[in-house]
């Protein structure tokens, strides 16, 4: 028997009927397929995994350090120059270096998300005075009276207790648990450990690895590696205990013939417990030794041969599984006497592509969430400038020289360009002739995909706190090229 669907006129095309399907109970997200990564201890388990495992920690450190080395810039796009200059000035006026902010943002990899509470300030110069309530106002490098960023403050993932959702399943705020007796947040009015502080999403810059099911906690990069890590930890403990027992031996204690250690009398039970305590506590250290009454005997049994299972081989296999799941298997190449240069180069390329995708996520969150909020507070109208990143990897010198040689053999005149020659010198860490003027390496003038507007415009690079502005014309100093044709030994006549 078929049912007749309701007429389409009954539906509201501008409203939501369903929801994302995210599993949430009392504000806590319980959507992981692994039960160990559900519940209030999820963040602590991920923290232990990220901070204690050598492979996981090494890969995360590689992502963070290379990601922090990438150049960042403000792109004007279709916005006016005033907006681009203002956005850059706000970034330079943050209370922390841009590199430190990126370090906080990269914590979204092990946890899946990194919530930052954005705190604004009125830009009133170095000595802004006091507020209405007598509190000291944050200082600023600028004194134009506009509203800028004071800080992007990370709220530790281990302290986030639950989320607040609206009727459509969208997060509208989060609750942070107080874990220190030395702080007293204004929102709670209490310094009691365990009290919760509500933070609305309007004040949060949320970095997350994925928007799957619209979960504010994203998806941790360590989820696919968790099983391998869990088994590996158990194998390491077994290997350590086995190695110790091979050194010490397996202790067996024989009780005196007149002592019944299996009886239920309190003295007999005490004798049994004491013997077990001595047997299980035998170690080779400064406290090694035991004293027994007459009639008692201790015997140490040692392994008669090689282990039936090669635990070291199993641990290496788990390390490989962890590295593959995190796109970081390049860290293992060469450690076991295997792997070619080509294989390493291929693994590095995959890693750098993954890192570029991660930097895209960070830039997208800034441009979709926080840049519009800042601009609206200062009555700027869209379109707005954007925060963009460059490539984190430096070009390989051998490949650069090979490319230049191929271009020259093909008859291209580009190899005679001053900037090409200088780029090669800088990459080779060779002295730069003073006639070349200021450096050109590191400047970003590419118009990145996704940036607003059409052709390239001068890029403003701020990651080192210096506004480099536009590049000088390539026609300036062109006569120096002829003097440097043979400088690189490229066979240019």
Mean pLDDT across the chain:
79
334-349 pLDDT per residue, tens: 665 555 555 566 667 7
Judge whether residue 86 has pLDDT over 80. yes
Judge whether residue 319 has pLDDT over 50. yes
Compute the average pLDDT of residues 206-217.
93
Q: How confident is the model at residue 367 (pLDDT cuts 50, 70, 90)?
A: very high
Peptide bond into 383 cis (omega under 30): yes
Q: Helix, strand, or coil here: 147?
A: strand
Compute the average pLDDT of residues 52-64.
91
Measured at the alpha carbon of residue 130, what is the angle toward residues 125 and 136, in degrees to the nearest 5?
85
Residue 493 CA to residue 485 CA, distance in Å, equals: 7
Judge whether residue 90 has pLDDT over 90. yes
Residue 125 CA to residue 142 CA, distance in Å, equals: 5
Comparing 46-60, 143-157, 337-351, 475-489, which segment has the lowest mean pLDDT? 475-489
Residue 217's region, left for phi above 0, alpha for psi from -120 to 50, else beta, is: alpha
- Residue 451: predicted pLDDT: 35
- Give the neighbor-by-neighbor strand order of the sheet with 386-389: 386-389, 72-75, 460-461
- Residue 280: predicted pLDDT: 78
**Domain ranges within the chain, ordered by starting residue:** 17-222, 250-301, 396-493
Residue 173 CA to residue 8 CA, distance in Å, equals: 35
Per cent of the chain over pLDDT 70 is 76
Q: Which residue has the higher pLDDT, 465 or 119?
A: 119
- Residue 307: predicted pLDDT: 60
276-298 pLDDT per residue, tens: 888 877 776 666 777 777 788 88
Angle between helices 311-325 and 226-248 (to 10 degrees): 160
- Sign of the torsion angle spanned by Cα atoms 273, 275, 276, 281: positive
Burial class (CB in 10 A: 0-12, 13-18, 19+), 313: exposed
Residue 338 CA to residue 354 CA, distance in Å, equals: 24
From the list 140, 51, 63, the residue with the least C-alpha distance to 102 is 63
- Give the C-alpha distances (Å, rounded to integers) separating 437 from 51, 190, 321, 427, 472: 46, 59, 50, 17, 10
Residue 475 CA to residue 417 CA, distance in Å, equals: 9
Residues in contact with 125: Cβ distance below 8 Å, sequence separation at least 6, in sequence order: 139, 140, 142, 143
Tell me if 278 sits within 8 A of 290, measured CB to CB: yes
- Residue 345: predicted pLDDT: 64
399-443 pLDDT per residue, tens: 777 877 787 777 776 666 677 777 777 767 777 777 665 544 333
- Residue 491: predicted pLDDT: 43
Residue 408 CA to residue 396 CA, distance in Å, equals: 18
- Residue 490: predicted pLDDT: 44
- Residue 189: predicted pLDDT: 56
Residue 189 CA to residue 126 CA, distance in Å, equals: 30
Report which secondary-structure segment, H or E, holds 163: strand 160-165
Tell me if 112 sits within 8 A of 220, measured CB to CB: yes
- Give the C-alpha distances (Å, rounded to integers) separating 170 from 20, 24, 113, 157: 9, 11, 16, 19
Q: Which residue has the higher pLDDT, 291 or 488?
A: 291
Comparing 5-19, 221-235, 336-350, 362-376, which segment has the lowest mean pLDDT? 336-350
- Kindly give the pairing relationship between strand 160-165 and strand 171-177: antiparallel
Residue 417 CA to residue 476 CA, distance in Å, equals: 11
Compute the average pLDDT of residues 324-338.
70
Tell me if 93 sits within 8 A of 148, measured CB to CB: yes
Phi then psi for 15, rounded to 5 degrees? -125, 165
- Residue 145: predicted pLDDT: 92
Compute the average pLDDT of residues 372-394.
90
């Amino acid at each position: 028997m078929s049912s007749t669907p309701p007429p389409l006129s009954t539906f509201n095309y501008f409203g939501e009927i369903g929801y994302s399907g995210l599993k949430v109970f009392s504000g806590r997200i319980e959507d992981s397929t692994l039960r160990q990564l559900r519940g209030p201890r999820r963040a602590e388990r991920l923290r232990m995994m990220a901070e204690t495992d050598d492979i996981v920690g090494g890969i995360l450190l590689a992502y963070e350090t290379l990601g922090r080395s990438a150049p960042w810039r403000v792109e004007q796009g279709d916005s006016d120059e005033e907006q681009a200059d203002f956005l850059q000035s706000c970034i330079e006026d943050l209370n922390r270096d841009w590199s430190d902010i990126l370090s906080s943002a990269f914590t979204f990899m092990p946890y899946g998300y990194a919530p930052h509470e954005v705190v604004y300030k009125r830009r009133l110069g170095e000595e802004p005075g006091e507020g209405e309530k007598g509190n000291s106002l944050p200082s600023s490098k600028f004194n134009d009276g506009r509203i800028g960023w004071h800080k992007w403050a990370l709220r530790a993932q281990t302290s986030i207790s639950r989320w607040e959702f609206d009727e459509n399943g969208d997060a509208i705020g989060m609750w942070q648990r107080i874990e220190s007796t030395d702080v007293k947040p204004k929102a709670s009015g209490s310094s009691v450990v365990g009290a919760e502080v509500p933070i609305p999403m309007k004040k949060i810059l949320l970095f997350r690895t994925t928007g799957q099911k619209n979960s504010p906690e994203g998806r941790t990069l360590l989820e696919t590696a968790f099983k391998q890590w869990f088994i590996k930890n158990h194998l390491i403990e077994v290997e350590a205990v086995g190695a110790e027992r091979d050194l010490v031996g397996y202790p067996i204690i024989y009780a005196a013939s007149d002592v019944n250690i299996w009886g239920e009398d309190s003295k007999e039970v005490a004798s049994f417990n004491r013997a077990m305590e001595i047997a299980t506590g035998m170690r080779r250290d400064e406290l090694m030794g035991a004293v027994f009454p007459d009639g008692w005997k201790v015997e140490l049994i040692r392994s008669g041969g090689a282990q039936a299972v090669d635990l070291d081989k199993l641990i290496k296999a788990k390390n490989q599984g962890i590295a593959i799941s995190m796109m970081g298997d390049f860290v293992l190449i060469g450690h076991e006497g295997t792997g070619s240069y080509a294989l390493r180069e291929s693994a590095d390329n995959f890693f750098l592509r993954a890192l570029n995708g991660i930097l895209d996520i960070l830039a997208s969150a800034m441009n979709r969430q926080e840049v519009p909020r800042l601009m609206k507070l200062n009555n700027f109208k869209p379109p707005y400038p954007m925060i963009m990143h460059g490539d984190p990897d430096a070009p390989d010198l051998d490949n650069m020289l090979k490319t230049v040689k191929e271009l020259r053999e093909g008859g291209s005149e580009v190899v005679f360009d001053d900037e090409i020659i200088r780029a090669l010198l800088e990459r080779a860490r060779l002295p730069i002739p003073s006639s070349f003027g200021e450096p050109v390496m590191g400047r970003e003038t590419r118009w990145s995909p996704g940036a607003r507007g059409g052709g390239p415009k001068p890029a403003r690079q701020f990651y080192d706190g210096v506004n480099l502005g536009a590049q000088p014309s390539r026609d300036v100093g062109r006569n120096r090229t002829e003097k440097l044709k043979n400088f690189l030994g490229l066979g240019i006549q």
